[in-house]
Structure 1
């Protein structure tokens, strides 16, 4: 007598999909709280096993990604915010990009927003603060992946970091300063905040390159602008009043116009190199008129596209070969701005 085949059950589906029975139950009964990627695996496993029941349609529900950025008060953050919106317009209606802008003067302000998010995944720009690290860990533990954009939080279990290599960018600025100045002196570094890993890495890279290529130039850092034009002006003006041995000013953040104006008012345009970041209308003008030597652009438009693509891949909405998370930076002078 022929032995009757055993019909597949939920346990078989769970084993094939590599998940627990509770997850299979939530997917097949459409109870929610399951990532799109896991949902797809469960439905594919049930279909492959020939489970006798009506299966839900994968991705019938919306996939929501929350993008948490600083308020768009700097040209760079304006570019990044705009780029996130432009990428959102190219996506399927079932994918919702929710943009949240925060005042990040308090480094821990991002943590409550991460913890309170109900999105399927989070893309975030934030300082490497212990509260943010804990919030990212809690989000990942809850099955809500987090991708850091522009600046990394490597002490957290974030899913990925999308952005440039800031240490290389700082070393590039230091290389230019070392090779273009052939006399001893001081290089002044101004920065948005040293709470962001990106700025610390740029400063460290700048120091390393000068120590290697021109150790006669001393680096003076720790001058924090908060991206404020007036503060950048006063900090640079004060440094220049200390003497004519300031050979270079390197700005790792915003406030380029204020720094350039201080150099001009001190009569040091051309004599003191001015190196900074981002190609904006502001820096284009400064480069063309010779008040800025070089700017390093980190392609926020590409960062927006890559971070969203990576998140969709991480959530299982899209599939394909592994994408590179590192973004290449470009150099701009008066000749190619």
Structure 2
């Protein structure tokens, strides 16, 4: 922080960047003889301290942004990839948007991949785990910002921003709809990918709150973790339906929607159970039209990708205007607007 003054000076910038004041002077006056990494650190420090002067733009070189996706399910991946591809086609030639899919989504593997990234900035879809958070914090400390997308990294103090929907609010909405649309009272099931992902944890928390507020007499009978594996999800739901007679609603916070739908077709007539899921994939749109899936809560992947990229480019000094808000609204779909 500035030393007792209302505005930052070169000494404050030097202290925050961990360099000498002469280096700060060379960078800000573009005298050269400073490595790109150091120049980036100095300009980032000046930007954080809101130094009242026009800052140089040392980013004429190519900027590489890497989107790391930790093993999302295929329909999710397809829509997310299309979003990134659309954004990549609109970027300046000096900006490279690279997409990396991590087959091994274990936190240690994700952390190792983060540490090995050669990108200037990273967009991450991954588990909120201490190992991942530590790697994110290391990248941030080295001047390479990280934005979490779709699911937040609450443990990572250094992450620049979270871009995506408010998952607690989405879960509360699902709870409200389950209570209002159910034709009778009874137990409710929750199916999730893994509570290691902050998005799913937040959705469950929100759902529990919304359901308790609207229908306290409708308890959550079980929370099932499927890791978005079709066979596992179908087996868990089939057993839960047998163990908890009279289930009136099912909230699926993740994937394997079609596998669950196959179980529900055999269990009851479509429409007898309120089934709420996420994402308006072509597969889920068909399930909505069929009447098996009652509501799909959708998030705009292309908009998320654009905002994540803009936030990073602004931090790197490539955009003069402030980026749009990081929170992206979600939309609700039934068979009437699928």
Q: Matched residues in 2 for 1:324 and 1:210: separation?
A: 29
Instruction: Evaluate the alpha carbon distance shift between residue 186 and residue 127 of structure 1 in structure 2; reply closer, same or farther with a 3 A threshold.
Output: same
**Number of equivalences:** 315
Q: Secondary structure at the match of 1:323?
A: coil
Q: Superposition pairs for residues 219-258 of structure 1, below 5 Å?
A: 219-242=220-243, 244-258=245-259
Checking the alignment, whether the CA contact within 8 Å between 2:13 and 2:45 is kept in structure 1 is no
Deviations 1:299-327 (A, max 9, x none): 11111111001111111100113520000
> How much has 1:15 moved relative to structure 2?
2.6
> How much has 1:250 moved relative to structure 2?
0.8
Match of 2:207 in 1: 206
Q: Superposition pairs for residues 316-331 of structure 1, below 5 Å?
A: 316-331=317-332
Please say which of residues 222-231 and 256-265 is displaced more in the overlay.
Answer: 222-231
Q: In terms of Rg, which structure is larger?
A: 1
Alignment equivalent of 1:32, drawn from 10, 31, 36: 36
> Structure 1 stretches of 5 or more lacking a match?
1-13, 50-55
Q: Secondary structure at the match of 1:309?
A: helix
Instruction: Evaluate the alpha carbon distance shift between residue 287 and residue 163 of structure 1 in structure 2; reply closer, same or farther with a 3 A threshold.
Output: same
Instruction: Evaluate the alpha carbon distance shift between residue 36 and residue 302 of structure 1 in structure 2; reply closer, same or farther with a 3 A threshold.
Output: farther
Instruction: Evaluate the alpha carbon distance shift between residue 23 and residue 78 of structure 1 in structure 2; reply closer, same or farther with a 3 A threshold.
Output: farther
Instruction: Evaluate the alpha carbon distance shift between residue 32 and residue 24 of structure 1 in structure 2; reply closer, same or farther with a 3 A threshold.
Output: farther
Q: Superposition pairs for residues 145-184 of structure 1, below 5 Å?
A: 145-156=145-156, 157-184=158-185
Deviations 1:234-281 (A, max 9, x none): 111112223541001110000000111101111242111110000001
Could you list the runs of 4 or more consecutive aligned residues of structure 1 that deviate by over 6 angstroms after TM superposition? 39-42
Q: Matched residues in 1 for 2:25 and 2:123: separation?
A: 27
Instruction: Evaluate the alpha carbon distance shift between residue 152 and residue 258 of structure 1 in structure 2; reply closer, same or farther with a 3 A threshold.
Output: same
Q: Superposition pairs for residues 289-328 of structure 1, below 5 Å?
A: 289-328=290-329
> How much has 1:96 moved relative to structure 2?
1.1
Q: Matched residues in 1 for 2:181 and 2:44: separation?
A: 57
Match of 2:285 in 1: 284
Q: Superposition pairs for residues 78-117 of structure 1, below 5 Å?
A: 78-117=78-117
Q: Matched residues in 2 for 1:57 and 1:257: separation?
A: 49
Checking the alignment, whether the CA contact within 8 Å between 2:13 and 2:42 is kept in structure 1 is no
Give TM-score, length-normalised by structure 1. 0.86
Q: Matched residues in 2 for 1:57 and 1:278: separation?
A: 39
> Structure 2 stretches of 5 or more lacking a match?
1-8, 15-20
Give TM-score, length-normalised by structure 2. 0.86
Match of 1:262 in 2: 263
Alignment equivalent of 2:10, drawn from 15, 19, 25: 15
Please say which of residues 27-36 and 138-147 is displaced more in the overlay.
Answer: 27-36
Q: Matched residues in 1 for 2:73 and 2:169: separation?
A: 26
Checking the alignment, whether the CA contact within 8 Å between 2:62 and 2:94 is kept in structure 1 is yes
Please say which of residues 16-25 and 123-132 is displaced more in the overlay.
Answer: 16-25
Match of 1:7 in 2: none
> How much has 1:113 moved relative to structure 2?
1.3
